[in-house]
Structure 1
Amino acid sequence: MRFASYQREDGVTSWGAVVAGDSGERLIDLQAVAPTLKAAIERGLLPGIRVDNGNTLAFDAVTLLPPITAPDKILCIGVNYANRNSEYKDGSAAPSNPSVFIRFPDSFTGHNQPLIRPHESEQLDYEGEIVVVIGKAGRRIKRENAFEHIAGLSIMNEGTLRDWVRHAKFNVTQGKNFERSGAIGPWMVSADEFTRKQLEDMRLVTRVNGEVRQDDTTASMMFPISFIIEYLTTFCELRPGDVIATGTPNGAGARFDPPIYLKPGDMVEVEVEGVGVLSNGVEDERV
């Protein structure tokens, strides 16, 4: 089942199930069940959840937000696809452990909302990624048990300001956290919609203005999702609603010669097999 978080026309933030109807997709509001999607995950309410068709909203009558609006942690894996590592023309071998960095919740917006290019840089880049949302807390989780801790999957455009990831020698934090430079959505698809085998060979495609820029599957990951969960939980406890971005394939704008960065008016679509399509335009930051 698909679950989305959104702001209604009256300004109230809520969440609900996305269902298909005769006139297109619609939302069934579930705030009566739990105040947020994260709270529902924490309480273990999603498996077998029942929806009331009386609380229906038109899909185009809401503003979609990232599915988890206030995660405790957003952990991001860098350079995780084998061909992505080959883009670094420094002769370095494949890494023995994943690179990890952290993003802030306000660095993301939702589906159909614009990515914001800040005044400080014209090097806003796209990175299509598969997102794992944690459903059950755990520390030192074994790979064979990792799937049991997943609530669902979503999609991320992990927007990056390329010149700002080079402001310090060992630090990408600045370039990864400009406000609304990235996006997550449009919803979370619950884990019961996927098998372990599907997670190991799931296709991701990123398009800019209709042109395919990234196209790969999770089979190319140097560190598969189960390993990522095992690795992260060696040094921190993952809790319900925590978000993990699992890395991006090759084809980001910075890797073209010359680089092709996003500009106002561009449209970026990230499509993940079995999840959906995350779409975002690009706008300059307003004064």
Structure 2
Amino acid sequence: MRENPLDLTGRIVVVAGASGGGLGSAVTRMAAENGATVIAVSRSQEKLDEHVGPLIEQGLAVITVTADVEEEAGVTKVMDAVRDAPGKLHGLVTVVGGGPPPSWGNAGKLPRNTWHELFSKNLDSMFFISQAVTAELRRQKLKGSVVAISSITAIGAQPYNVAYGAAKAAVLSVVRTMALELAAEGIRVNAVAPGAMTSPASLLPPNPELERQAIPMGRKGDVAEIANSVLFLLSDMGSYLTGQCLTVDGGISVKWSHLREDNTPLLITNEPFLTAMKAD
């Protein structure tokens, strides 16, 4: 292990979905600031110029690649850039995906094409670039780390967003399977499942009152807080972690629906008992 276990100097890290100005951009910055040569991938060169360009201007080692990793040609283009980049391949972060409001709706009425579209966007994109990166790591006999961005919708139900939740749950299954297949070769595969976070891609406007009611920590997470968790798994700090899903959600996933705003059970109406609990 390196003296500074967060140090990524001399290592190549691919970030698929780097240009949205949210989590992917934050991971790109954080990995580059810790010494990595980052292959920043997006379908939009315009967005890469906007959100990743400033990092290059600052002198950080970031190489932009315009590619769609849902497609074989896009994956090939990314891997060509990896082979041309200075350093040794080490990591991959898959931030690609999403479930925009047009895909929301009752599960019983979800169009077939919407189902396939969200699985391609969230699962295919993650799987095929992961397959290519881990194959290259194995070819070069290198250890490395893959971090897939899943979602808390993969852990608990989110009504009216069934395709997105199912695809992100499938991502976790891929992570666990690949982790076992690759563990003996020193290639770690993990996931991060974010909850609500502040991001340009956020589907919900800020609502401090609702956030206080729904999130035990009382607020959305900042993308930098999620990126910190990604960096932990990507780096040597996570050297003995594989096949895991790190849930970073301010406590949402462990709060049962029958809990009050102060996290005491709704079904308990005995006031002396409630008072005694709150006194602690």
Alignment TM-score, normalising by the size of structure 2: 0.29
Higher relative contact order (CA 8 A, sep 6+): 1
**More strand by percentage:** 1
